[in-house]
Each structure stands twice: as structure tokens, then as C-alpha cells.
Amino acid sequence: MSKVKLDAIDRHILEELRDNGRITNVELARRVGISAPPCLRRVRALEQAALIRGYHADLNSEELGYGLTVFVWIGLDSQHEDDLSAFERRMAKLSMIRECHMLTGEADFILKVVAKNWDGWQSFLTTELIAAPNVASVKTAPVLRHSKVQFGVPLDGVGGS
């Protein structure tokens, strides 16, 4: 995919949508200083260029009964591509795993896991993570407090015009 050149209006559109994906096109256009039809064309172009991957609601995990978040470092016995891919496929099927990232260094993967409570977490840990094929080590860090959660990426300096 070729690099897309973003101007100040494109960056402003991305910032507004990153922070409020439900904004109307009319309000978005007003905030970025253009009329609605060209604003919609720009949004569609940003979507076509895969700079916007989707729109999501920010769900309140605690209010929905998931009061525990745990980061998990996983070390595998084998780092052959087939084994790495098999692990990723297995993790993708587990709904309590909200993020799975392959790493370099001491661990092969880091997971972000949500659980309703300690008992649910302990059961998940022992039946799904520790017992998974090829898993050599599991280190966990329960989250005590969420200090900052921001979606997307910073857009200052992004673009090119």
C-alpha cells in the first residue's frame, strides 16, 4: 500500500473521529472547517486508504461485570512459525483475551485478559493458558488501577503536506 499524504484537514478529521466515532458528518465538517459533502468524501477516502479501520463503542467493562484486567506474558517452548500461529489462533478464539501481541525479548506474547472475578480468572488461567499446548511459562500482572486509556494513535506530525 502506498503512503497517503494527509493535509491538516485530514489529520483534523482523523482526530475528531478517533475521539468521537459517532459524530455526525455535519458536525464533523463544522469542526474541521469545510462543508459536509467534501468532508464525507474525505472520510470515505480515509476509510478506503485503510487509515480508518472501523468504529467502536467504548464499553464500560466494570459495569458489564468484568472488574478484573490482567496482563499476561507467555513464553512458548517452540518459536517455529507453525507453533506461533497455532498459539495465536487458539488465543483468538478466547473471548476473555482482548489483545494478543507477539513480542521479542523474554516473552513470546503479551495478552490483555478481562475476567469477572478472581475465581473466573484463576479458572481461565489454569484451563486455557497454562494448559495450552507449547506454553512453557506464564507470568501475570493484575491491573490495580487504569490511569490512562486512549484509543488510536497521536496524529501530530503524521501526514506529509
| Residues 72 and 134 grouped into a single domain | yes
pLDDT at 4: 79
* Residue 26: pLDDT over 80: yes
**Is 108 inside any structural domain?**
yes
Neighbour order of strands in the sheet with 97-102: 97-102, 109-115, 68-76, 135-142
* CA atoms of 99 and 113, how far apart (whole Å): 7
CA 50 to chain centre: 15
**157 vs 26, which has greater pLDDT?**
26
| Residues 41 and 87 grouped into a single domain | no
**Enclosing H/E stretch for 19:** helix 8-19
Domain count, the chain: 2
Q: What are φ and ψ of residue 72, in 5° steps?
A: -130, 125
| Crossing angle of the two packed helices 25-32 and 36-48, in degrees rounded to 10 | 100
| Residues 125 and 85 grouped into a single domain | yes
pLDDT at 41: 97
* Residue 1: pLDDT over 80: no
| Residues 41 and 72 grouped into a single domain | no
**Is 127 inside any structural domain?**
yes
* Residue 43: pLDDT over 80: yes
Per DSSP, the three-state class of 161 is coil
Grade residue 160 by pLDDT with cuts at 50, 70 and 90: low
| Crossing angle of the two packed helices 36-48 and 8-19, in degrees rounded to 10 | 80
| Residues 74 and 113 grouped into a single domain | yes
